[in-house]
Structure 1
Amino acid sequence: MKPTKTALLYITIYLNLFGLFGGYATFLGGTSYYSSIWLAIYALTSLVFFKDTFLHITKNQLILILFIFYIMCSFVWSKIPNETVKYSLSFICNILFAIGLYKNMELNQFLITLRNFLNFYIILGIILFIIGLDQTVYYDPLQRGNLFNSELIKGLFSHKIYAGFYSAFAFILNVKLNENNLYLKYFFCSMCAIGVIISGSSIGLMSLFLYITLATYLNIFERKIINKKYFKLTTLILLVFLVIVYIFLPLILESLNRDMTFTGRAKLWEWGVVFSQQRPIFGWGYSGIFSDLPGAPSQIINKYQYYVAPHFHNGYLQITAELGLIGLAFYLFVLKRTINCCYLLFQRQSNSTPFLYLIVMLIVAIGMNLMSRYNEFSTFFLFYLFLSSNHLTRKL
């Protein structure tokens, strides 16, 4: 690849990642510049990737193209069609970026690029907080704190939850992909752990715990230390641990300044079930529920909330309510194929990072809107891994 094309490729990747992790929302959210910036990035991405994107279409690409068509058609049955069309286009552009990147960059190379970007992104957010930039602070209506008993710091992420979740992901990227220089590895791991803690996100703390636990377990499995007796013992310990967590759950939640509704999430989940049951097959259309518009279906939810709910705080309910059982079936197919491939990648090449991310994402998606939100990293990365699975399966 020519140096000019390589430079343009990386510029395009970094500009997309800056937005997918919430950088533009932090500085420009709610202004006309925000939409303009994203339109410019979509245009640049199309110019850089368009030529190679639809040459030699793979089976997985064809599946995604059919899903794109379904997403676009959902404005027909949406109660707020303008919102559905607008956000569907953003979602589609995120998928096209995944297709273009798959054509131009292998998974291992992208993971290293992602690690470097997140290290820079997290540290820059902390530095900007230290020098007093207001946008890096998360103002919590419930006035909760973090483990340092300080202000909640989201850095350049759009929300403290994303700050915690992706700082935990960056931690495991450094553990797995930073083998050459131990001092750098420890430094960046420390910064990522600090990023999790200062966010005050319980989801971030849980993600970090899951990554460390699962990575340790997979390392034992990989070294073939595991046997039937050990498997039974670890399973028993896990069950005892879950029972203890269940018994002391109210106390744990209280120490994290949470309640048994998980800060209102349980009520939103109930509404998610209600909306899913009302339109089970096709759903309410992509981004066809939550909006500030008077005719938005979410107005009935906002009557009973102390804030305007942006989504159901559950990735599975969000997909089912918006895209129906058809959309849910598509996502289950994508997840099954991608998880199988990433497990094979771990088994045969000792690369457990994508597999770890998927497992943690699937758990965290119970309390967080992941996998289908437009202009959000988890959406893009899931489809990029899905597309890469086609190539990786052939190699493995």
Structure 2
Amino acid sequence: MISPSTSQVIPRAADSASTIKFRDLDRFFLGLLVLWASRAWFYPGDVETQIGVEAPFLFYFTLACQLLGFYGLFRLGPPRIGSALMSQPLLLALIGWGAVSMAWSSAPYNTFGMVRATLLMMMGCVYFRERLSLSDIVQTFAVVTGLVMVGSLIAAVFFNFGRGTGFHVGSWRGLFSHKNGLGEVSAFATLFFASYILAARRAQLWAALFLSVSTVCLIFSGSANALVTVGSGLALMGLAFVTSKLTPSKITNGLIFIVLAAIAIATTFTLVTVVANSLGRDMTFTGRTRIWEIYLRFAAQQPWTGWGWTTASTNEVMTNLVRTTLKLPYLRSPHSAYVGLAVELGYTGAALYVAWLGKTTVSALLGVARRNDKISILRASIAVGMAVFGFFEVSAGVLPCLWLAFLICTEPKKQVGPGKNARA
């Protein structure tokens, strides 16, 4: 559990009955937002035939979760919500650029939908960050994510719909429409609970059980990308944790970590490239570089503006051309958040995203190396996970997802005075 000193909250004894009531209500609403961001069952249908399934409940549930952004606006008021949003200027600029892209988007309605969903989720997240303690936020993510993993395990073991079909027979998909959906959330959950246990500094039986279930789901999802993501996240976060113990100097520990991390990343990249070349494979071992190459040709045609947010997967002419060229009839996306943003929002949008995620990741890792505090450990593993998974899937980019929701909800607050924190 995150200690009161870490979460920086007003003592519970000072809370009024109405404050406690609203805190419980806010935790419930945050739980709904986390469930929405997990995208369990949010893309119902046959992935291989592209035949959709009528699911009106999911539409209304998604809409209700987006409206939590307006709930936060009402509770905090426009000035405070605006100030809280400005704590993420790069992310806000990216969403703004996405909104501007409606002017030239080849699918303006879909672009508007993405802008609306992402902005409202961000508003909801900054509201919960302002109103709840870090302990409440972390525990809510833990409970909802853990229950999604348990539900996926039960679905895969006892029901046919929880197991893959067609090309993915033998793999699990749990409460998701595709094995990669289960793989992504399993990767998030495995990183989250492993970091949670490390941060707690003591045995946590319930967290260990959730970690075990998440790991099983991760393995049986058959998602190699998710496995690489977990390995990368744990390795870098572990390196930062070890580095924090080397010297009494926080600055020295931070510098040592930067050097060691750079060496580790460069060495890993070189080894993977050499092995892949020797086997006659691309560096992803999945043929994704062929997909990226075709999509980047579209990016080169509109290098600074892109084709409009979401067009990489909703522009039928673009999608059909890629499918025909690569002979992949069921391809639905560039399979990379970075490539997808380059196509949709140009190199301008991709640069904004890389700048935001890079700043967030480095800040969290340095927080572990320098302070070794609990929330930095959690944020570091999730930020690295988001950065790595984004290389292989679009779902870990700037759109409603667990990675983004957690990083916004747990963004450190600025000091407002000596020894004071805005969260208190």
- Length-normalised TM-score, structure 1: 0.81
How far apart in 1 are the matches of 2:163 and 2:287?
22
Match of 1:156 among 175, 178, 194: 175
How far apart in 1 are the matches of 2:355 and 2:257?
33
Match of 1:289 among 309, 312, 317: 312
Structure 1 counterpart of 2:189, one-letter code:
A
Structure 1 counterpart of 2:173, one-letter code:
K
3-state secondary structure, aligned to 1:152: coil
Residue 31 (structure 2) pairs with residue 14 (structure 1): yes
1:39 corresponds in structure 2 to: 63
Quote how far apart the aligned CAs of 1:354 are. Answer: 0.7
Quote how far apart the aligned CAs of 1:362 are. Answer: 1.6
**Does the CA-based 8 Å contact 2:313-2:333 persist in structure 1?**
yes
How far apart in 1 are the matches of 2:256 and 2:32?
50
Residue 95 (structure 2) pairs with residue 72 (structure 1): no
Structure 2 counterpart of 1:170, one-letter code:
A
How far apart in 2 are the matches of 1:166 and 1:251?
32
Q: Deviations over 1:164-185 (max 9, x none)?
A: 2332332232233233444434
**Does the CA-based 8 Å contact 1:167-1:196 persist in structure 2?**
yes
Bigger Cα displacement from structure 2, 225-234 vs 178-187: 225-234
**Does the CA-based 8 Å contact 2:106-2:311 persist in structure 1?**
yes
Q: Percent identity?
A: 19
2:367 corresponds in structure 1 to: 345
Structure 2 counterpart of 1:50, one-letter code:
F
**Does the CA-based 8 Å contact 1:370-1:378 persist in structure 2?**
no
Residue 30 (structure 2) pairs with residue 3 (structure 1): no
Match of 2:397 among 365, 372, 389: 372
Distance 1:66 1:335, change over 3 A: closer
Q: CA RMSD in A?
A: 3.6
Residue 123 (structure 2) pairs with residue 96 (structure 1): yes
Distance 1:2 1:348, change over 3 A: same
1:321 corresponds in structure 2 to: 343
Structure 1 counterpart of 2:30, one-letter code:
I
Distance 1:18 1:165, change over 3 A: same
Distance 1:185 1:389, change over 3 A: closer
How far apart in 1 are the matches of 2:297 and 2:388?
22
How far apart in 2 are the matches of 1:118 and 1:101?
17
Residue 303 (structure 2) pairs with residue 280 (structure 1): yes
**Does the CA-based 8 Å contact 2:338-2:391 persist in structure 1?**
yes
Quote how far apart the aligned CAs of 1:350 are. Answer: 2.5
1:269 corresponds in structure 2 to: 292
**Does the CA-based 8 Å contact 2:323-2:329 persist in structure 1?**
yes
Residue 147 (structure 2) pairs with residue 128 (structure 1): no
Quote how far apart the aligned CAs of 1:283 are. Answer: 0.8
**Does the CA-based 8 Å contact 1:129-1:155 persist in structure 2?**
yes
Quote how far apart the aligned CAs of 1:96 are. Answer: 2.1
3-state secondary structure, aligned to 1:308: coil
How far apart in 2 are the matches of 1:321 and 1:306?
19
Q: Deviations over 1:331-384 (max 9, x none)?
A: 233224323432343222433221222123222322121453533223434444
Unaligned runs of 5+ in 1: 145-150
Match of 2:229 among 207, 214, 221: 207
1:52 corresponds in structure 2 to: 76
How far apart in 1 are the matches of 2:412 and 2:259?
32
Quote how far apart the aligned CAs of 1:262 are. Answer: 4.1
Match of 1:299 among 314, 320, 333: 320
How far apart in 2 are the matches of 1:251 and 1:240?
17
Quote how far apart the aligned CAs of 1:86 are. Answer: 2.6
How far apart in 2 are the matches of 1:86 and 1:229?
44
Q: Deviations over 1:132-158 (max 9, x none)?
A: 151x223252x46xxxxxx21121244
Match of 2:163 among 125, 134, 137: 137
2:387 corresponds in structure 1 to: 362
Q: Deviations over 1:233-283 (max 9, x none)?
A: 998888776655444447989xxxx98774442222012211211111111
Residue 135 (structure 2) pairs with residue 105 (structure 1): no
Quote how far apart the aligned CAs of 1:40 are. Answer: 2.4
Distance 1:206 1:371, change over 3 A: closer
How far apart in 1 are the matches of 2:150 and 2:337?
28
Q: Deviations over 1:80-106 (max 9, x none)?
A: 222222333222222222222222234
Distance 1:382 1:309, change over 3 A: farther
Structure 2 counterpart of 1:139, one-letter code:
T
2:206 corresponds in structure 1 to: 184
Distance 1:45 1:223, change over 3 A: same
How far apart in 2 are the matches of 1:196 and 1:53?
41
**Does the CA-based 8 Å contact 1:176-1:353 persist in structure 2?**
yes
How far apart in 1 are the matches of 2:98 and 2:157?
42
Structure 2 counterpart of 1:175, one-letter code:
A
How far apart in 2 are the matches of 1:76 and 1:187?
49
Distance 1:124 1:324, change over 3 A: same
Distance 1:168 1:252, change over 3 A: farther
How far apart in 1 are the matches of 2:347 and 2:257?
40
How many residue pairs get matched? 380
Unaligned runs of 5+ in 2: 1-17, 46-51
